[in-house]
Amino acid sequence: MPVTDEAIEKIKEMIVGGELRPGTRLPKEADLAERLGLSRNSLREAVKALSLIRVLDVRQGDGTYVTSLEPGLLLEALGFVVDFHQDDTVLEFLEVRRILETHAAGVAARVMPDEEIARLRAVLDSLPADAGLDELIANDLEFHRRLAAGAGNTVLCSLLEGLSGPTVRARIWRGLTEEGAVARTVEQHRAICDAIAARRPELAQAWATVHLAGVEQWLRDTLGSADSALPPMPCAPDPGAKD
């Protein structure tokens, strides 16, 4: 095992084993290196790597601390990784996002507090009729962020936020090139919100599937992909149907 990887593994063991807890300051570099049987250089490289993925927080002049280790913080790196992927690979991220967010919509319809549903609707109502593309994208992001948070699962919320990188690009491309995309997006957002407010999980999931699969299918067509794994674009759900 390379010495830096060994150093990373040893620090990880100290955290997982409870010796170093969230917010704990690490021993001085020389003391920790001697204790772990590592060179100070390899320890320094390990600390640098762990700080990049938000496991450690290096505070200049103060020392190195274990972060809160909360999912939202640790999963920030996911968005960084996602942004490197383009073209067909983006479809795979979008597919994962569709699976996760449709589940989130169903859960939100069951557990999202009424006041949060009101805030979700307020996001939609705040969008002016003559909104520019930047406003549309910001509103779209805020709607989906609140929808994910409404499921009450911080890990799920963080995963969806991390997956938004290629999704944002797809929304921008779609808004610039596909006629009627903006009006359709606003209409589908309201349908999802209405289903959540009515406490109809299956309808909320159905509308979320229609909405997210639309972006996915549009991008698939744009890229000219021959992949047939994605099922045909679903029809809009019948609001009068029983869950």
Cβ within 8 Å of residue 214, ≥6 positions away: 184, 188, 233
Q: Which of 188, 171, 173 is nearest to 105 (CA)?
A: 188
Q: What is the pLDDT of residue 85?
A: 65
Q: Which of 71, 21, 14 is nearest to 43 (CA)?
A: 14
Mean pLDDT of 157-180: 80
Cross-strand pairs, 59: 63
C-alpha of 52 from chain center: 18
Mean pLDDT of 88-98: 85
Q: Which of 76, 182, 183, 97 is nearest to 147 (CA)?
A: 97
Q: What is the pLDDT of residue 227?
A: 47
Mean pLDDT of 111-133: 94
- Tokens 């955290």, residue located: 15
Q: What DSSP string describes 30-81?
A: HHHHHHHT--HHHHHHHHHHHHHTTSEEEETTTEEEE----HHHHTHHHHHH
Contact predicate 122/212, CB 8 Å: no
- Report pLDDT digits (tens) over 14-67: 999 999 999 999 999 999 999 999 899 999 999 999 998 889 999 988 999 999
- Residue 234 in this model has a pLDDT that exceeds 60: no
Q: Rounded to whole angstroms, how far apart are CA atoms 123 and 82?
A: 26
Contact predicate 57/46, CB 8 Å: no
- Residue 86 in this model has a pLDDT that exceeds 50: yes
Who has greater pLDDT, 24 or 73? 24
Q: What is the pLDDT of residue 46?
A: 94
193 membership: H or E segment, kind and range: helix 181-197
**Average pLDDT over the chain, rounded to an integer:** 86
At 238, the pLDDT band (50, 70, 90 cuts) reads low
Q: What is the pLDDT of residue 76?
A: 77
